[in-house]
């Protein structure tokens, strides 16, 4: 176990280390290790040469390995076709990092019908950064040229001292004092073939690559570093105890995390006992493990290509209290931490722990000197700016699915909290993959439990990308491979998203802050109602014209994230559905035009998908930039904007590797979800609340699914993905239609817990049907007699509990106010900035709140909480505004009020899972005021969850979709009182 050492012991160990270093020569010279040879005969079936060329000038007809094509055995064969003279081509082959020596030599057998190809070696200077790219400086050493057309020729390239010195002189001249180039160590990691193609077919055959003598580059760094709070840039390369091989080849530079010199987007998941193969198959690259010392787990992860993250140890006293860095230190981390990519301090860290943060991070960095101080990550709920001074990777998270916070507001939240951190901070987020624990606990005894929709996970991930976040974590409490339908759909959705994240990794990991570009989509419905359902005050829709009778056309304003990088620009259009946190809508449009603010006339726009080669899109000059037309938008899309054809070719090669997997996942997800939609639709029909267009929508969805499955069998992967997407889009239309019908006259979208998910809509209708049979609410006893807020003494005697956050810049208060819905007074919560003071930002707690006394209720009762609320002026500074919620469902079921409104009724209906006291909380999170009046609490004994007929197993198979019976339209249930 990791132990704590006292400050005296720590100083003694440090002194011994310094003395030992002085004896061996503290600046380490190249280490004497045995040289070896690297040889590749190209006998395996996988190609290993990476090709870079101009796609608008030439193309690759053949690139594979062929038996018998080499001098002896197999070889790698390329057949190229160029349309113009002297079109450049470059081939790169990765080799083990070899220290540059005078005798280091690369050799390669080449045969071609065209001469002029040259052999080169790429040299990297690890400790000198290129000021233009902030990456290690690189140059090439030239070798032999191919001259013997149609014959085998052995090309050689050697890192002779004179050749290297010539290149260094050129680099120094070009640097013009911007950087000092005096390398102590250099290494070769690429062998290159370069040349120019004629306007004809060219064949190139490669065999027998050798690099010798190979003395592996050993990036050993022994130094006593200063305890800087947060270095602006760190190069992190760890070594094993015998100093033979890099263990954790990670580099961290502000907002970029690289492994093996390759920038990555961390795709994190917390482990719940799954086999590492599950994570690898789902496209994860980092797993949060409970114990960093459990090498049986971390070693198994590395065997599957996965890194681990874990909580570090802390210096504690005998009483368990944390010790300050001035009083105690940690023992240096040992080899059992070699599989840790970065340290994770934990989730949901609040201001209470911040005073300990400088001391804890200092202890961790001191103990991690041998591993050159790996990055430290933490998920925080407030105070992003001070945290970002001490923590390298700042997590900013919020769970919004099933709540009254929309995905549009979620995106605004991520941007707002990101801007509170220091500029260029590496930000990441936990993605919600399950509904809130309180909702899960409440639904344990019902038939149709609520569940997360795959589209809701997608919306969160793309919102994080649009906010400029560099990593995502998928928060799970149920194992990723759990056999339940909800978990299986979740796994498929995450797998598809990870394929996309890996495809876009070069842009997402190395770009600056994205620019949000607005664009419009047309929504047309025969009833004149836009596709997003009921239009709220914050929804960006407007009527643009009325055409044929009964047809109204609307425009909805969406946003696309423009991500600029050295690789070109990546544009991510996305549909943040207004009510998608409950039940996603269609989120589909055709012929979408986006004006992108790019200046270059030579750039082309390419649609990027995971199942087919890039497709060139129509573009034309327009006011403000270039107008790009996207044929279809289905939730999200990706557009590459570049003038570099090598980037297009590189992406096409990546897509070829993942297209089959992506198509399989898309089709399987569509099949699983449509089966579930059919089951719920049948249950709703049996309750008399079916939708008249259900049979048509499901029948069309079945046809699209059949098309997708047929295309997948024929290996037409792009068509399979499109067919699956069309089927899911039709399914979402039906889901949304059911949800809109269920909420059409509810005073708020969180009235019942079961309205938060399509899957639990049958339970919602059962509950509402049972409540219809009861006596009117006004005739029932109010269990909260102080809810009229008429007398201060009554509130005190009833034990209402107020709470305020004491701030110098804000004056907050909870009081009775002579403005009422009925009677003389109402409850008023107010938080106003003090004149001349700047209001605080990033406060997680409400400025002022008040909690009602507890009301005893018991199992099988249903509690109904009603009241009236008024917001005189918009509440600012927080996406939560004013919140009203109960303790049964908690904040996920809260009514949130931000926009100005006159008195409006709210309602919370809650089944009681077990006997307890119910309380109501009224909290003001933003700046402004809210008034509440006539708060009533009633409770009735109600066992409403009577078992309903469920479809047989045979009835839910996809083959039955097209045989639905016509759904009869029944008279709707008596509605709840309308909002006033």
* 734-758 pLDDT tens trace: 999 999 999 998 999 999 999 999 9
Beta strands in 435-551 (DSSP E): 471-475, 515-525, 541-546
Residue 159 has pLDDT above 80, yes or no: yes
Mean pLDDT of 659-670: 98
265-279, 798-812, 950-964: which range is least confident on average? 950-964
Residue 963 has pLDDT above 60, yes or no: no
Residue 251 has pLDDT above 60, yes or no: yes
Mean pLDDT of 717-722: 97
Q: How far is CA 271 from CA 297, 308, 474, 481, in A?
A: 10, 10, 10, 11
* 811-863 pLDDT tens trace: 999 999 999 999 999 999 999 999 878 778 777 889 999 999 999 999 989 99
Helix, strand, coil distribution of the chain in percent, nearest 5: 30, 30, 40
Looking up tokens 């409490």 gives: 477
Q: How far is CA 306 from CA 267, 289, 301, 343, 559, in A?
A: 10, 12, 5, 15, 34
* 53-99 pLDDT tens trace: 888 888 888 999 988 888 888 899 999 999 888 889 999 999 999 98
Residue 303 has pLDDT above 60, yes or no: yes
Among 17-21, 238-242, 296-300, which range has the highest average pLDDT?
A: 296-300
- Where are the alpha helices (H) located in 798-940, listed in sequence order? none
**Tokens at 863, concatenated:** 């509690």
pLDDT at 254: 63
165-169, 520-524, 640-644: which range is least confident on average? 520-524
Average pLDDT over the chain reads 84
CB 781 within 8 A of CB 466: no
**Tokens at 193, concatenated:** 């073939």
- Return all residues near 814 (Cβ < 8 A) that are at least 6 apart: 802, 804, 827, 828, 829, 848, 849, 850
What is the C-alpha separation between 429 and 474, in angstroms, rounded? 9
Higher pLDDT, 882 or 237: 882
Mean pLDDT of 729-736: 97
Q: How far is CA 904 from CA 404, 468, 772, 932, 978, in A?
A: 16, 38, 22, 10, 10
- pTM here is 0.73
What is the C-alpha separation between 348 and 362, in angstroms, rounded? 21
**Tokens at 555, concatenated:** 């425009």
Mean pLDDT of 381-401: 91
Cβ count within 10 A of residue 80? 22
Q: Confidence class of residue 179 from pLDDT cuts 50, 70 and 90?
A: low
**Tokens at 880, concatenated:** 């939560």
Please state at what angle helix 694-713 crosses helix 645-686, rounded to 10 degrees.
Answer: 140
Residue 221 has pLDDT above 60, yes or no: no
* 554-570 pLDDT tens trace: 678 899 999 988 778 99
% of residues, the chain, pLDDT over 90: 60
Q: Confidence class of residue 631 from pLDDT cuts 50, 70 and 90?
A: very high
Q: How far is CA 73 from CA 41, 156, 795, in A?
A: 8, 21, 91
169-183, 242-256, 721-735, 826-840: which range is least confident on average? 242-256
What is the C-alpha separation between 274 and 337, in angstroms, rounded? 21
Looking up tokens 């995971």 gives: 610
pLDDT at 355: 58
* 862-892 pLDDT tens trace: 999 999 999 999 999 999 999 999 999 999 9
Residue 19 has pLDDT above 80, yes or no: no
pLDDT at 779: 73
What is the C-alpha separation between 380 and 346, in angstroms, rounded? 8
Instruction: Give the residues across from 53 on adjacent strands.
Output: 89
Q: Confidence class of residue 354 from pLDDT cuts 50, 70 and 90?
A: low
* 185-218 pLDDT tens trace: 889 999 999 999 999 899 999 999 999 888 888 6
Pairing of strands 307-310, 286-288: parallel
* 473-522 pLDDT tens trace: 999 999 999 999 999 999 999 999 999 999 999 999 877 789 999 999 98
CB 871 within 8 A of CB 899: yes
% of residues, the chain, pLDDT over 70: 84
* 326-346 pLDDT tens trace: 778 888 998 899 999 999 998
123-127, 457-461, 723-727, 861-865: which range is least confident on average? 123-127
Q: Confidence class of residue 176 from pLDDT cuts 50, 70 and 90?
A: low
pLDDT at 444: 87
Higher pLDDT, 843 or 573: 573
pLDDT at 684: 97
- E strand or H helix at 141: strand 136-145
Q: Over 516-534, what HEC string results?
A: EEEEEEEEEECCCCCCCCC
pLDDT at 529: 34
Residue 602 has pLDDT above 90, yes or no: no
């Amino acid at each position: 176990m990791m132990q704590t050492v006292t400050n005296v012991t720590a100083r003694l160990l440090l002194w011994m280390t310094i003395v030992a270093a002085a004896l061996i020569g503290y600046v380490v010279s190249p280490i004497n290790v045995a040289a070896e040879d690297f040889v590749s005969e190209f006998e395996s079936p996988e190609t290993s040469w990476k090709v870079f060329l101009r796609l608008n000038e030439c193309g690759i007809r053949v690139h594979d390995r062929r038996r018998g094509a080499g001098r002896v055995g197999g070889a790698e064969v390329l057949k190229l076709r160029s349309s113009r003279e002297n079109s450049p081509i470059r081939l790169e082959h990765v080799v083990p990092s070899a220290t540059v020596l005078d005798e280091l030599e690369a050799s390669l057998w080449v045969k071609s019908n065209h001469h002029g190809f040259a052999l080169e070696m790429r040299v990297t200077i690890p400790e000198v950064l290129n000021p233009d790219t902030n990456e290690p400086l690189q140059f090439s050493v030239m070798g032999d040229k191919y001259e013997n057309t149609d014959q085998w020729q052995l090309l050689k390239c050697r890192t002779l001292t004179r050749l290297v010195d010539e290149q260094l002189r050129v680099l120094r001249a070009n640097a013009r004092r911007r950087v000092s180039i005096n390398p102590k160590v250099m290494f070769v990691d690429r062998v290159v073939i370069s040349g120019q193609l004629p306007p004809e077919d060219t064949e190139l055959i490669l065999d027998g690559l050798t690099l010798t003598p190979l003395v592996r580059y050993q990036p050993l760094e022994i130094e006593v570093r200063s305890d800087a709070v947060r270095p602006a840039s760190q190069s992190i390369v760890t070594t094993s105890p015998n100093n033979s091989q890099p263990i954790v080849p990670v580099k961290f530079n502000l907002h970029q995390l690289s492994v093996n010199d390759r920038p990555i987007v961390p795709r994190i998941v917390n482990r719940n006992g799954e086999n590492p193969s599950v994570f690898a198959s789902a496209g994860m690259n980092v797993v949060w493990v409970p114990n960093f010392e459990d090498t049986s787990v971390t070693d198994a992860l590395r065997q599957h290509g996965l890194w681990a993250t874990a909580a570090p140890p802390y210096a504690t006293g005998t009483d368990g209290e944390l010790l300050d860095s001035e009083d105690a230190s940690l023992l240096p981390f040992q080899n059992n931490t070699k599989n840790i990519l970065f340290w994770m301090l934990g989730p949901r860290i609040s201001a209470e722990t911040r005073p300990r943060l400088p001391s804890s991070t200092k202890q961790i960095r001191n103990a991690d000197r041998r591993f050159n101080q790996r990055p430290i990550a933490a998920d925080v709920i407030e105070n992003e700016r001070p945290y970002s001074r001490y923590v390298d990777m700042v997590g900013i998270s919020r769970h919004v699915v099933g709540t009254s916070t929309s995905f549009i507001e979620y995106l605004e939240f991520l941007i707002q909290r990101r801007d509170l951190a220091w500029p260029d901070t590496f930000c990441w987020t936990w993605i919600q993959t399950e509904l809130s624990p309180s909702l899960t606990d409440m639904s344990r005894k019902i038939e149709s439990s609520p569940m997360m929709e795959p589209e809701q996970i997608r919306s969160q991930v793309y919102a994080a990308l649009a906010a400029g976040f560099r990593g995502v974590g998928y928060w799970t409490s149920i194992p990723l491979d759990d056999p339940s339908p909800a978990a299986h759909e979740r796994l498929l959705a995450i797998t598809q998203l990870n394929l996309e994240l890996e495809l876009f990794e070069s842009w997402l990991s190395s770009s600056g802050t994205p620019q949000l570009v607005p664009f419009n989509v047309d929504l047309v419905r025969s009833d004149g109602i836009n596709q997003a359902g009921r239009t709220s005050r914050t929804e960006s829709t407007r009527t643009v014209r009325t055409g044929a009778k009964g047809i109204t056309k609307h425009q909805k304003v969406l946003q696309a994230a423009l991500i600029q990088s050295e690789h070109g620009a990546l544009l991510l259009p996305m549909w943040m559905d207004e009510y998608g946190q409950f039940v996603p809508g269609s989120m589909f449009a055709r012929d979408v035009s986006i004006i992108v603010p790019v200046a270059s006339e030579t750039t082309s726009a390419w649609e990027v998908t995971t199942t087919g080669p890039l497709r060139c899109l129509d573009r034309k000059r327009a006011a403000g930039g270039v107008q790009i037309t996207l044929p279809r938008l289905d939730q999200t899309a990706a557009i590459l904007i570049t003038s570099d054809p090598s980037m297009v070719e590189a992406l096409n090669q990546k897509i070829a590797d993942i297209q089959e997997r992506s198509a399989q996942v898309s089709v399987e997800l569509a099949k699983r979800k449509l089966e579930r939609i059919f089951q719920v639709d049948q249950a709703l029909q049996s309750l008399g609340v079916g939708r008249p267009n259900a049979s048509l929508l499901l029948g069309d969805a079945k046809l699209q699914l059949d098309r997708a499955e047929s295309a997948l069998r024929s290996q037409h992967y792009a068509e399979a993905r499109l067919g699956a997407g069309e089927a899911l889009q039709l399914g979402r239309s039906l889901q949304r239609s059911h949800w809109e019908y269920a909420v059409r006259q509810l005073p708020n979208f969180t009235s019942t817990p079961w309205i938060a998910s399509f899957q639990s809509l049958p339970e919602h209708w059962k509950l509402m049907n049972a409540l219809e049979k009861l006596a009117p609410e006004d005739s029932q006893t109010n269990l909260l007699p102080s809810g009229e807020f008429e007398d201060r003494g009554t509130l005190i005697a009833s034990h209402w509990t107020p709470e305020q956050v004491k701030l110098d810049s804000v004056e907050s208060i909870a009081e009775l106010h002579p403005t009422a819905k009925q009677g003389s007074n109402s409850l008023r919560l107010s938080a106003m900035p003090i004149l001349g003071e700047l209001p605080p930002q990033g406060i997680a707690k409400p400025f002022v709140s008040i909690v009602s006394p507890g009301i005893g209720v018991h199992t099988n009762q249903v509690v109904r909480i009603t009241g009236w609320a008024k917001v005189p002026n918009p509440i600012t500074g927080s996406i939560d505004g004013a919140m009203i919620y109960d303790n049964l469902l908690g904040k996920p079921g809260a009514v949130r009020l931000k926009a100005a409104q006159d008195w409006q009724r709210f309602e919370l209906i809650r089944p009681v899972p077990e006997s307890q006291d119910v309380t109501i909380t009224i909290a003001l999170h933003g700046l402004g005021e809210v008034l509440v009046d006539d708060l009533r609490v009633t409770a009735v004994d109600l066992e409403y969850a009577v078992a309903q007929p469920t479809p047989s197993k045979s009835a839910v198979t996809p083959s039955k979709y097209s045989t639905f019976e016509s759904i009869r339209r029944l008279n709707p249930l008596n509605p709840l009182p309308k909002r006033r």
